[in-house]
Structure 1
Amino acid sequence: MLPPAPADIPKLYQEALALQKRGEAAQALALHRRILSAVPGQVEALFQAGRLLVEAGEHGEAEILLRRALAARPKEAAIWQALHGALSGAARTKLEREAARARIPLGLASEAAPIFRLVAKGETETALKQAMALVRAAPAAAAPAHALGAVQAARGN
């Protein structure tokens, strides 16, 4: 199949996102790969294809695509978070250290721990602000949601 024309890429990207939302991952991945065949550095397609590959358990290929996306957008927390899901062992630990140095939230339990400490001290207003910020920064992670739930419970909500 021929690569898409540059003018067709935005439409193909939107179509791929719609497929992803409908749970049609294989079809969405195929469209992202078509986009990348025409524009290999298209960050959004690299990121979305990487996310789909992580979900499919294809961590090696996902890591390659996500590292390319991260090289282009080193401050994009969502890329760091997706890459974190593709890694294990020492590589994952190294990424966690790098993210902490860069102040990129991954949604880890260690990032939520200060919120739980604030709740224990009764500082629920500050805890709520921090929990909301962490949930916004890492919306797919469990630890921020857990922290927010603890804050809301402490506030009687």
Structure 2
Amino acid sequence: MHDIQSIRKNAYIGILLTTLALLSCALLINETIITTTHEIKTRAPVVRIWPMAPFSVLCLPFLLSLTLLYIVKAIPCKQRMQTKTEGILIKSLILCFISALFCLLFLAPLQYKAMPKLGYTHCNLLQGHPNMYFTDWVKTPEWCVRGKTREWVKEQARLSGNLENP
């Protein structure tokens, strides 16, 4: 049997780091998925989409099973229990990889078909555009001005009196 004291010491650190990763996933879900969905639903004047956002949702089972594995390893359990927990961890890791491939191969191209149908125009000229993996979409093409912020676009929509875009 492995040294239980060192396993428990490592489990404390592992559980802490996994909990921080879980919290960051929850924050990411709120910031990217919920906010973006709400913006699209309310026909906001500007929407920023990150195609890898659903990946954070499917990472939750992996992180939870990793925490469970830390606990099972720290408490001397039967080998069968550890094997089952490791199996759950491996299956959730495979789910994470599949979801990452799905996001990259299907969701990224899908936004280029769906967003124009909703009346949005692709715009990567706005200030604060973090990197190539995020995509900005504006409701009116004239609002896609290099160096302007998303707040400026929202202000332009408000000033234009467009009732569809508050």
TM-score, normalisation: structure 1: 0.26
**Where is the helix percentage greater, Structure 1 or Structure 2?**
1
**Where is the strand percentage greater, Structure 1 or Structure 2?**
2
